[in-house]
Amino acid sequence: MSAQMEEWHFPAGYDQSYLPDPSSPYWFPHRETMDPEERNAAVLPRLREVMEYAYANSSFYKDKWDAVDCKPADITSWEAFEQVPVVTKAEMRQAQADHPPFGDYLCIEPTDVHHIHGTSGTTGQPTAFGIGRRDWEVIADNHARILWGMGVRPGDTVFVAALFSLYLGSWGAMAGAERLRCRVLPFGAGAQGMTSRAVNWLARLKPTAFYATPSYALRLAEVAEQEKIDPREFGLKVMFFSGEPGASVPTVRKAIEDAFGATVIDCGTMAEMTPFMSASATAGTPDGMLLWQDIVWHEVCDPDTFRTVPFGSEGTPVYTHLERTSQPMIRLASNDLTRWVLEDNPCGRTYPKLPDGVYGRIDDMIHIRGENVYPTEVDNYLRGVEGYGGEHQIIVRRTGSMDEMIVRAETTHPEGRRSEFEQRTGSGLQSFLGVRVTFESVDANTLERAEHKSRRVVDEREHTKR
Ligand code: 8LQ
């Protein structure tokens, strides 16, 4: 079987000169379109192989698995694999505090680390990502393969408009585009005046493809409009996004499509899981995200038991690397929420799909008076409202013994039409969410815009607890 799976071996290594037949929509036709049962049958022994490697090369995994008597050699069924304990971010932080800087799950010599990235560390000690040279090449190969699936081709210009620093998103996109023999413009984001300069460069260079966070694309469209430039003139064909929900939130997706006239592609798992594009839509299946199960093994699990939920159900993604030798993640718990299905994909790939993308984090979900509200639902509703000014905040506070949710949104309506807007939008939002909401409006362009990932929820209940 593995002979049929193109270049299927561990540790992975790909022919760096390979490019598919230009007429093929697939990079690896067999791997991408094979019977999913057959693919799963090839993945299971690979999981065992990765676990054996991690057990032999890291005290982190050895100790963790020994403690529950889990032996890599016993992973001969899915039942057994689902009982492998999940890895949490807190465990990784602890491992890095005990074994600085990369933790005892590094699995390669520290001198073989080729790229160092990290979490932003805005809350607490940042986590360091140490990626080996060979892994970086394999990541580039995987991302090139997925970009090919999105319809990006050698010679296309790819504009990367995300932070070039610790954030892996921009570097991962760039590595893939370079491997695909694209022309890469590592523009970056986040510096003073940079958005307006991005508008200028996009108008001049007319790239084919664009990578950013969805919030930033909308910000860019606003700035272009202020500068009297229609973002459609950039001529972008494919815009791919990661980092936060948005590209699969229907009204956000439509706002980006309408503003730029390009195909919107959602992708992204977690920085630890790089190649993080292993969940990604394709040109032929542009909605939701496909789970490229031969690159990273994705499970959608019950958040309490971490057993896989059936297709059609909601759960939390749990990820396992199939090709990484540096800091391999084996059942990393994401704390995100999604729903997965297995159906025929128009692009012909036989991967499972997240039809609504990843719609939120378990810890970002607002619990209010017994109801759960996803911040993305508020975004989805407001973006469809006539007169919405483009940004909002969600404030949750406790008044007496009651929790209260205040949504403050920008509007383009003048003073005279505000109260009608507030009433209409407030009651519409309330029935859409099914919880009582106090709705307020403010002038357009007064709330802060995200240059990276948006943070719209202000939970004052947490602040009072501290
Ligand atoms: N997150 C990331 N991508 C997402 C998406 N497409 N839809 C919904 N939520 C998404 C480097 C890549 O951009 C991945 C990344 O952002 O890694 P981080 O910085 O470690 O953040 C991971 C978290 O971003 C995920 O757990 C999701 O909550 C969100």
pLDDT tens-digit map of 134-153: 999 999 999 999 999 999 99
Task: Please tell me the distance between residue 358's alpha carbon and the centre of ligand 1 in angstroms.
Answer: 9
Report which DSSP code applies to 450. P
Instruction: Dump pLDDT digits (tens) for 282-316.
Output: 999 999 999 999 999 999 999 999 999 999 999 99
Measured from the Cα of 272, ligand 1's closest atom is: 20
Check: CB of residue 248 under 8 Å from CB of residue 265.
no
* Ligand 1 contacts CB of residue 271 (under 6 A): yes
Q: Tell me what pLDDT residue 43 has.
A: 98
Distance 268 CA to ligand 1 centre (A): 6
Of all protein residues, the one whose alpha carbon is nearest to atom 21 of ligand 1 is 270
Beta bridge partners of 285: none
Mean pLDDT confidence for 322-348: 98
Residue 167's closest CA among 358, 451, 365? Answer: 451
Please tell me the least confidently modeled range out of 186-195, 398-407, 416-425: 398-407
Q: How many A from CA of 419 to the centre of ligand 1?
A: 37
**274, 337 contact by CB (below 8 A):** no
Fold assignment, 1-360 = Rossmann fold (3.40.50)
**280: CA distance to ligand 1 center in Å?**
12
Ligand 1 pocket, residue 276 CB under 6 Å: yes
State in Å: Cα 243 to ligand 1 middle. Answer: 4
Atom of ligand 1 nearest to the CA of 335: 26
**Domain positions in the chain:** 1-360, 365-465
Q: Residue 466's pLDDT band (boundaries 50, 70, 90)?
A: very low
Band of pLDDT at residue 402, cut at 50, 70 and 90: confident
Which CATH code fits 365-465?
3.30.300.30
Around 276, how many Cα atoms within 13 Å sit in the side-chain half-sphere?
Answer: 24
The whole-angstrom separation of Cα 437 and Cα 166 is 38
